[in-house]
Each structure stands twice: as structure tokens, then as C-alpha cells.
Amino acid sequence: MKFISAFFAVLGIAALALMLAPQESLPATEWYSSTQCLDCHADVAAEWESSHHAFAYENPEVRKLSNDFANQECIACHAPQPVLKFEAGERVLARQSQRGLGVDCLACHAVTDGGVATNNRQANGDAPCRPRFVERMGSVQLCSSCHNQHKTVDQWRGAPDNLKGNNCLTCHMPQEFRKGGRSGSNHAFPASHDLAALQSAVSLNLKIEDGVVRTTLTNDGSGHNFPTDERSRAADLFVRYQVDGKLGEWQRLYRFRDPYRDETDLTNTQLPSGQSMSFDLRNDVQSVSVRLIYKTNPFMSDEDGVVVHSATLAIDE
Amino acid sequence: MSKYLALLIAVLAHSCSQQNEVMQITTLEKHSFDEVIEQHLADASTWPEFGIERANEMIELFGMAELGGAIGQRAQRRVNRLGNNEIQHALLLIVETDKQNTALRRRAYSLLANRDWQSSNRFIPRLTLRLKYEKDWPSNIIIARALANVGSLAGIDAVKSILLNSGEDEIDDLDLAKSLAAEFISELNADHDNFEDNWQHLQLLSDVWDKVHAFQGVTTDFNQEYQDELWSLVAQFRSQPLRPVDDARFVFIRLEQQAMTVLAAAASDSNRYVRDHCLQTLTWMPASSQVAYDFALKESLEVLENDFYSSVRAIEYRGSLMDKIQADFLWPFIENGNYEQRTAAADALLRCADYSVARIDALLIDQRFSPEAQCSLLLLRDELRGSEIVIPRISGLDQNELTRRLRWQQQRQALATDYRKQR
């Protein structure tokens, strides 16, 4: 009996000691690597792994364009410190560790006091990572720290309301169901490396109007220029004619692109959100084919680019 | 019962002490810094305010002055009335603005190169930036000459590159560029005729420039106007778009070593981006790091290392000094720093090369080191052991990061060899 009462007394004192322990003495989680997130968020991590955020530092194309990061200005966005460490809209600075992880979980979610930020208002604050709702997580300002370096967010601000969506997340982090029926924002960030995303950004039309064969490209699905991003991206529109039963060569009609600053002989030919561009084609042929090829860098061959849209029109005699 | 109580208290005390041990992280503060740049820019002199039309008029005036005769004399008198700042600004405006007219740009560069500016050298930073954007090779050689006249060998790489070019790359006006380069290196070697001698002399100058950013032939006048220009340049570090930041970094890493004192002073500016980029720029140029350290950073570095925003860059900068003495400052960050600080400190330790194998071995047991930090510590440990360097295989280590660390190690070893030779 004496033993039992002693046991409960000890238990009581222990409970009291734990209750009275000052809050700040509890260890805050020290975030050091996004690999810590894997245990609980394997499904989200798998999506992210397929994204170009995950690939941001090791992407050979980026390596080539940045001269293997000899242009060190590029590292800041390709291996950033947590964005929330900076004021809203301010640019980020490069981190020192685990650059191979590119734009990782902590880059967007880590907050400076040790917890993580989420766009989910019903986040379970008791989870080990102590998630909490942070308004900025759903704002364009979070993305603009990097994505406005090449003016994409400015373009979005000037886009027609019907194409803007609520913010970047509307198109680039759509809500999806994961295993087990849980829904969440897609962390694969569908964009220019995703054919469906490219196809939904613009439409290509080929028809005869008042006897004129005309092709029109319309930016009717993206809330920024097409292609967005200064310098690196290009979209080429090609035409091919069939004459006397023979198919001719593909000829480039137009290149949509914002050139490098030192390409002084070129001007910005991106197609702004909501706008169209038409080209009159030959009508003295048997058929006309057009195709739009997207290139993730302007030096890419036509074969390596992605055919986003194509169309063929037979012309009556 | 007292026995149980004592046991409980002992257990609680032990667990608390363990927690404290793990969490003993170096405290970082959000320090308040001065408005260093604003203070310097308040009274700074500025360039004259006129546009490209006026600049084009001026260059025409120079052309007329060369004609001779009555018209030429009149034009020359008007040229003589122009101030150095006006002429420099006009010529720089032309080369910065006119992208299409290569001949006009070459002429503007030549006018900058052929005139004796005495101590009026504030054009150095603006002209140095042309090395980034000027695509015409003959123009690059003329820029190199103009800069050399005022004590900067920033353009010397372009000269070497053109002289080494065997014509495999398609370069417009390669022959002209080569002849201008040959003429320039002859001037540098007191007008000697022998190309081989001139080339050797160029290599010597280039080696010294790479090591200490000083040109033995001409010393840059570190006058107030030139310093004002440097402060305007460092102010670009505040920019949110990265291009002006990168332009400023491009120029600073090509300037003679006195310019580093501006970076050293600005490293304590209230703007966190300025602090970051000043320290980063200095880190990239070990040749001038020491100048900045002796000028101001010896005093301010410890504050920066404990600043919430600047800590990692400051630790990284300490590594660029490549001096064993710095290792003691790094140790607290390796043991008690946060993840980023530990990486920066491990990298810096590799660059400073000190500490015992046993102490590094003890560190490597700690799993909280990043792949980059592990790489630095392993490379250093092998070197200290005197064993052959084995390329470490570390999960999650990017190849580029390994290469950077091997390069740091080689740089430091080369520096040590040089030092031994000098002694």
C-alpha cells in the first residue's frame, strides 16, 4: 500500500514538474533538411520529386545556360534559403547546404522560428512539424521572390481578370486527390515541362476567312505571357505546304520569345495573356499544316522541342 | 519515498541537461547597422545630366577637331572647354547605348584610351562593366588599354584570350583584334618589339594582378570622385532585380585592391542584401580579401557572424582569408551553429586548413552535418593525415559542390607553396 501511494506521489510530482516546466525550454525543431519531411509526407514528396523545383540545381540545361553556375546570381533561386526568411516579394538569397535539393520543401515552407507554414487553414498544429496557416503561402508574393526575376509575376498582374485565376496556385498547384482520398495542392507544379499545361495555355487555329488562309495563336489559357520567362524559353510557329502532291519543308513563321539582354538585334515577341497573333498563309496550295513547338531554351533543335499544337487544312481547288 | 523522489529528480535533471546539450545553438541576433551607403552618397559627386544626342554632338566635335584648319581649330577650342566628366560621360553613354554602330563604339573607346585623364578616373567602374556586355573583340582590346592607363588590368583576360585564339572560333575582325592586342602588350613592355618577350611580360603582370589585384606599372588614384563612383556601385546591391547586383559584382571583382575598402565598409550597412553581397563578393576574390579584412572587417566580422541575416556569409568570408589563424573563430560555429552555419564553417575550415585529425573525426560522427560540410571535413582530414586525397562519396552531394571544394583546397595549397617560395 505504502509503495502504491509513493508511486502515485512520484507520478503527481512528475506531472507537476512537466506542467511547470517553462515553455521555452522545450526544444524547437531544428529544420536542417527537406529529407526530414519524407517520413510523414511521402506522397507530396513524390510529386515534388517529379517537379522542376526538385531539379532546379542539377538540371543540365540550367547548368549550361548559367555556365555551370559561374553566373552565381542564378544560385539564389535554384537553391534558395527559405523564402519566408525574407520580406514579402523580396528576392531570396542562396543557401549553403544541400543545394542538390534545389527548390525544396523548406524553401517554401520553413519559417524562421522552427515551424512550417501552410496554406491550409485547418492544419493540425500538433503535428511534429508544427504547421500553421500563413496567408503569404497562397499569395503571388511567395512565388515572385524568384519568378519575378524574369517578370512573370508582373505579367500576371497585367493579365485579364478572367485568365488570372486567384494566384499562381490556381494553374500551377491545382487541387488533387492523393492515395487514401486526401486532397491537396499538386506539388509537381505543372508548367512548361508539362504538355497538358502547355496545351491549355494557348490555342492554335487554322482556317480560311474570306478566302484567306490564316493561322492564329491565342494566349487564352495562361495568366502571363507565352512563353513567359525572359531569355530562356522560346515557342516557334512553323508552316508546311503541300504542292503538287509533295509535302514541303517546315518553315518557321514566327518565334515567340523575350531575348537575352545582349541580343540587341531582337525584340520581345512574347504573346501577352489574352492576346492573339495571326499570320496569313499561302492559299495556292493543296494543304497547309501548322505546328507550335515549345523549347525550354532558344538553342534547342526543333526535334528536341515539344509539339504543343498542330493543325492541317486541305484547300479546295 | 524520498529515494523515489531523488531518483525522479535525477532523471529529470539528466534529461534536461541532455536537451540543453543538443540545443546549445549559437545565438543569433538581429543587429542594427548604420546607413553606411546613404552617409557616403549624401555628398557624392554625380555624372553630368545629358542624353545621347548631346553625346553624339560631342563625338562629332572630336572628329572635327582632328580635321585641322580653321574648322578644326574652332572645334578644338570647344573641346578644350569641355570638362573631363562631360567627355567621359558622353563617350560612355555612346558605348552603353549604341548597340548597332560598332565603328562609333570603337571610336568612343579609343578616345577614352588615347587621352591622358590625369587623376580624373571615375570612369573606371563604368568602363569595366563594358567588358561584360561589349561583344566586339577589337573594342575589348581598346577597353583593356584604356583601363591599363589608369591602373587597372581588368581587361587583360580579353587580351590574352584574343592572342591565344587560333581562329577556330569565328570572330569578326580577329586580325584587327590581334594586331591591337600585340600593339598593347608592346606598350605595356615599354615598347619592346619582340612579341615573345612582350607575351612573357604580360603573363607576369597577369599573375601579379590575379594574386593581389595591383598593376605594378600604374597605381590607380584613389581620389574622392572615384570613391563616389564605387559607393554608387555598391548601392546597386540593394536592387531587387538581380541584374544590377550582378553588374556591380562583376565590376568589383575586377577592380584594383583599394576598391575593396569600400566593400569592407559597406559590409556593415543596414541593408541585409548589401551586407550579403559585399561579403560574398569579397569571398570570391581571395586576392583582395585580406585588404578588406585589415581595413574594416577585422573589427566588424564577429558582429556580422552573429547577425541573424549575415552570419553564414561572414563565416564563409572568413574562410576566404585562407589563414590558419581564422580557424579558432570557426570552431564555435562548427560545434554549436545551426545547419547552415555548420556548413559554412566546415567549408571555411577546409580553406583555412587547421585542426587535428582526431577533432575532425569526432565531428564526423555527428549526423547533423550537410553533405557539403561532410565533404569539406573529409577532404581536410585526409589532407591532415597526409594520405592521398580520396574523392569522398557522400549521399546527396552535388558534383558541382565537390568540385568547388576541391578547387578551394587546391587554391589554398597553391598559396602555401607560393608563400614558402617567397620565404
Rounded to an integer, the average pLDDT of A1-5 is 63
Rounded to an integer, the average pLDDT of B361-383 is 88
Q: What angle do CA B304, B308, B313 make, to 5 degrees?
A: 50
Q: Is the pLDDT of residue A19 over 60?
A: no
Considering only residues 85 to 114 of chain A, which have any Cβ-Cβ distance to chain B shorter than 8 Å?
89-91, 93, 95-101
Above pLDDT 90, what percent of chain B?
A: 66
Distance separating alpha carbons of residues B210 and B197, to the nearest angstrom: 20
Q: How many CA atoms lie within 13 A of A36 on its CB side?
A: 19
Greater pLDDT, A15 or B266? B266
A227 upstream amide cis, omega within 30 of 0: yes
Q: Are A187 and A181 in contact, with CB atoms under 8 Å apart?
A: no
Q: Is the pLDDT of residue B11 over 60?
A: no
CA–chain centroid gap for B377, Å, is 26
Q: Are A101 and B377 in contact, with CB atoms under 8 Å apart?
A: no
Rounded to an integer, the average pLDDT of B308-318 is 95
Contacts across the A-B interface (CB distance below 8 Å): 99
Partner-chain contact B5 A7, CB within 8 Å: no
Residue B370 region, left (φ>0) first, then alpha (ψ -120 to 50), else beta?
Answer: beta
Considering only residues 51 to 110 of chain B, which have any Cβ-Cβ distance to chain A shorter than 8 Å?
99-100
* pLDDT score recorded for residue B411: 86
The radius of gyration of chain B from alpha carbons, rounded to an integer in Å, stands at: 27
Rounded to an integer, the average pLDDT of B379-399 is 87
Considering only residues 113 to 172 of chain A, which have any Cβ-Cβ distance to chain B shorter than 8 Å?
149
Partner-chain contact B242 A99, CB within 8 Å: no
Measure the CA dihedral A208/A213/A219/A225, to 10°: -170
Confidence band, pLDDT 50/70/90 cuts, at residue A14: low
Distance separating alpha carbons of residues B78 and A191, to the nearest angstrom: 60
Rounded to an integer, the average pLDDT of A179-199 is 90
* pLDDT score recorded for residue B197: 95
Above pLDDT 70, what percent of chain A?
A: 89
What residue spans define the domains of chain A? 34-185, 195-314
User: Which of B1, B135, B243 has the CB atom closest to A6's CB atom?
Assistant: B1
Q: Which CATH architecture has domain A195-314?
A: Sandwich (2.60)
Rounded to an integer, the average pLDDT of A41-57 is 93
Partner-chain contact B242 A76, CB within 8 Å: yes
Distance from CA of B100 to the nearest CA of A (A): 8
Other C-beta atoms closer than 10 Å to the C-beta of B135 total 13
Q: Is the pLDDT of residue A48 over 80?
A: yes
Partner-chain contact A27 B373, CB within 8 Å: no
Alpha helices in B23-149 (DSSP H): 36-41, 52-65, 69-81, 84-97, 102-114, 124-133, 137-149
* pLDDT score recorded for residue B222: 95
Q: Is the pLDDT of residue B19 over 60?
A: no
* pLDDT score recorded for residue B7: 45
Task: Indicate the angle between helix axes B399-422 and B339-352, nearest 10 degrees.
Answer: 30
* pLDDT score recorded for residue B361: 87
Distance separating alpha carbons of residues B247 and B260, to the nearest angstrom: 16
Longest CA–CA span in chain B (Å) reads 116
Q: Is the pLDDT of residue B12 over 60?
A: no
* pLDDT score recorded for residue B289: 79
Distance from CA of B313 to the nearest CA of A (A): 9
Rounded to an integer, the average pLDDT of A104-119 is 90
- Interface mutation vs chain A, best among B9, B340, B397, most A CBs within 10 Å: B340
User: Which of B100, B249, B398 has the CB atom closest to A99's CB atom?
Assistant: B398
* pLDDT score recorded for residue A155: 95
- 3-state DSSP call for residue B206? helix
User: Which of B22, B99, B401 has the CB atom closest to A27's CB atom?
Assistant: B22
- 3-state DSSP call for residue B303? helix
- 3-state DSSP call for residue A159? coil
Partner-chain contact A73 B276, CB within 8 Å: no
What residue spans define the domains of chain B? 52-212, 322-416
Greater pLDDT, A70 or B257? B257
For residue B379, give the C-alpha cell.
577532404
Nearest to A99 by CA among A81, A111, A117: A81
Confidence band, pLDDT 50/70/90 cuts, at residue A114: confident
B133 touches A at CB < 8 Å: yes
Distance separating alpha carbons of residues A245 and B49, to the nearest angstrom: 65
Query: Which residues are bridge partners to A212 per DSSP?
Result: A209
* pLDDT score recorded for residue B252: 96
Other C-beta atoms closer than 10 Å to the C-beta of B7 total 11
Rounded to an integer, the average pLDDT of A297-309 is 94
Q: Is the pLDDT of residue A209 over 80?
A: yes
B6 touches A at CB < 8 Å: no
* pLDDT score recorded for residue B16: 42
User: Which of B100, B241, B400 has the CB atom closest to A69's CB atom?
Assistant: B400
| C-alpha distance from residue B337 to each of A125, A182, B21, B311, B312 (Å) | 27, 38, 13, 10, 10
B241 touches A at CB < 8 Å: yes
For residue A286, give the C-alpha cell.
493543296
For residue B183, give the C-alpha cell.
600593339
Distance separating alpha carbons of residues B31 and A33, to the nearest angstrom: 27
* pLDDT score recorded for residue B353: 85
- pLDDT tens-digit profile of A250-270? 999 999 999 887 677 788 999
Distance from CA of A102 to the nearest CA of B (A): 10
Beta-carbon contacts of residue B77 (< 8 Å; ≥ 6 apart):
none
**Looking at this predicted complex, what is its ipTM?**
0.81
* pLDDT score recorded for residue B13: 45
User: Which of A73, A96, A149 has the CB atom closest to B312's CB atom?
Assistant: A96
B-chain CB neighbours of A32 within 8 Å are 338-339, 368, 370
- pLDDT tens-digit profile of B191-214? 788 999 999 999 999 999 988 899
Partner-chain contact A100 B397, CB within 8 Å: yes
Q: Which residue has the cell 555548420?
A: B342
Report pTM: 0.85
